[in-house]
A = this chain, B = another copy of it.
């Protein structure tokens, strides 16, 4: 086996993955089920907002010109003809000298040109008739929210490829999208490989560890908006692995394996890619951890060979699998955003290759500071719980000091980024 793979830069590895064509499938689902799904249609205003002139307050709808010259000393009195709540309409056009008692959100009666708020009106009854008195002048259009003042009919509001959050959901409801077209979730199969792996419900045995990577990756897949399908763990036996992987490929859009991608005697994935006739996009990247992360392409499907090392596996998923899944969902911004931040602590180790440290973000007096989430050993699973960024330490650097500028990749931001602007 070739022990001397040539590493390629992270940016190039990502491009090779993203250049692989993907296809999308669309399904129509009830709005109730659309939370966090990705729209496969543009959403436009099917009507104006508001759809009619409406009142922003509780008050009286009147003709503004009727109040000309109304003062404290010489108030103007109106005959209250009817009362309309939101959802009701005046029964007839309003005439000069008349007032309609109107509630917030109700449609302005025909003929009315302003709304006088309750607070400036005085009411009284006489002979079973209600009257309203006002002591000041009102202007035309005062306290009227004009039809279409927020949105005109036909205005495009949300583009295809957008995730449905509570605000988008409100828009969809407003415009009557009781069903909505969304992209089908890509189905992502997950295998863990390694004879050393125990099931999570098995007691620990000498020389063995429990399978944690698969469970971690299943969560990462779900967090990415795809559908995870767990196929179990595989011992390091070629025939078993080959058979299981070829069968699984029939059932999924994308397949992830953890482990077996290095150059050890039991690292079977390279042999499996070979027998599958898969094109290996890369099998060595200039990064730590995860330098042996491998991506192969067979019959239109991508196989992500993530490292068996937990942190390398985590980083490999977020850098390479995540954006491809977003591409499969036709998202305009498939990448995690890369931002500038200050490093919150010293990091003495030199970085011969670009290093990705699991970390967390902190906002300090308007500035963004990032801290490593724990020890930086690539095998450390305990540092991952707090992680919401990957801190990027450039390759070819001797170490970093607290306060130095670094880049950080935001893992939980939902808006995404159109490009992946990683330096160096």
Contacts and interface: CB of A to CB of B under 8 A. Distances in A.
A336 interface: no
A165 B363 CA distance: 21
Contacts of A131: none
Contacts of A201: 176, 178
Interface stretch (A65-73, A277-285, A384-392, A393-401): A384-392
Main secondary structure of the interface of A (DSSP, over half): loop
A375 B50 CA distance: 14
A412 B223 CA distance: 13
B119 A3 contact: yes
| Interface hub of A83, A89, A119, A204 (most chain B Cβ within 10 A) | A204
A88 interface: yes
A137 interface: no
A367 B416 CA distance: 18
Contacts of A118: 3
B381 A170 contact: yes
Nearest to A219: B166
Contact of A385 (B165, B214, B358): B165
A197 interface: yes
Given A310-B170, A414-B412, A209 B50 contact: yes
A58 B382 contact: no
A196 interface: yes
A102 B291 CA distance: 20
Interface in A101-119: 101, 103-107, 118-119
B207 A106 contact: yes
Contacts of A85: 195-196, 236, 264-266
Given A314-B167, A339-B363, A216 B382 contact: no
Contact of A52 (B166, B195, B206, B405): B206
Contacts of A52: 206-207
Interface in A394-424: 405, 412-415
Given A85-B195, A165-B219, A166-B216, 5 more contacts: A35-B223, A49-B382, A87-B207, A151-B382, A166-B217
20 contacts: A50-B379, A87-B195, A87-B196, A88-B196, A89-B206, A103-B264, A103-B265, A105-B209, A107-B207, A157-B382, A166-B216, A167-B373, A167-B383, A170-B310, A170-B384, A173-B214, A174-B209, A176-B204, A363-B368, A367-B367
